[in-house]
Amino acid sequence: MRTVARTPRMRSLHLRVAGWPGHRAGQHVDLRLTAEDGYQAVRSYSIASAPGEPLVELAVERLEGGEVSPYLVDEARAGDRFEVRGPLGGYFVWGAADGGPLFLAAGGSGIAPLMAMVREAARVAVPFRLLYSCRTLADVAYREQLAGHDVKVALTRAQPAGWAGYSRRVDPAMLREVAWPPPAGALSYVCGPSGFVEAVAGGLAALGHPPGSIRTERFGPTG
């Protein structure tokens, strides 16, 4: 295993998984940790690496008071071993055969499964646009990897001097600007806290995106 810091609160774990069968962009794994006293904890993490990459990349955000994420973000080191079950999930997935173009919307750590889609879409030359909502610029993960792609960033709490992106939460006016009128075959993937997902999915439907073309994945509130 090797690790890469993505933000002050997020870290990527790059795992070499024996017998890994391959995955689809958007899938996740269950990670099981066992303490010296035998206590075990299992958590699910989305896969951020594109299909076919030799290491499985998991993006983990530290949750204050969490049981597992503080260890993975702050203490895990190269050489640590974990039990991995997966890949899991068959709904929130995308591959070139599914078509496009893609509209991707990430709230906070919801970027993890969408990074797998960004990487795969770039590899197979399927057009995509990503709307990425974070609290501050420091919370924007994968900035280097996203540079040069069609990415719109919204900072909801604080913005640096000269900030040219959005400075508010996602709203209908923002979606009208960034979510192009849905051409035939367009697909949307939305991942983040429940409120964010509901706002984006509802806004896309109001803009005429067929409900069947919008796939969502959500997690509990993160503030």
Q: Hey, what domains does the chain have and what are their CATH numbers? A: 2-88 (2.40.30.10), 96-219 (3.40.50.80)
pLDDT mean over 71-96? 93
pLDDT tens digits, residue range 195-215?
Answer: 999 999 999 999 999 999 999
Strands 151-155 and 187-193, sheet pairing:
unpaired
For residue 215, what is the enclosing H or E element?
A: strand 214-219
Give the HSE-up count for residue 186: Cα atoms under 13 Å, Cβ half-sphere.
18
Taken in order 118, 122, 126, 130, the sign of the CA dihedral is positive
| Closest listed residue to residue 28, CA positions, set 77, 70, 82, 86 | 86
Which has more confidence, 203 or 65?
203
Residue 223 has pLDDT above 50, yes or no: no
Between CA 59 and CA 13 the distance in angstroms is: 6
pLDDT mean over 59-88? 92
pLDDT at 220: 57
- Give the lowest-confidence range in 39-48, 121-130, 134-143, 213-222: 213-222
Strands 102-107 and 151-155, sheet pairing:
unpaired
Residue 221 has pLDDT above 70, yes or no: no
pLDDT at 90: 96
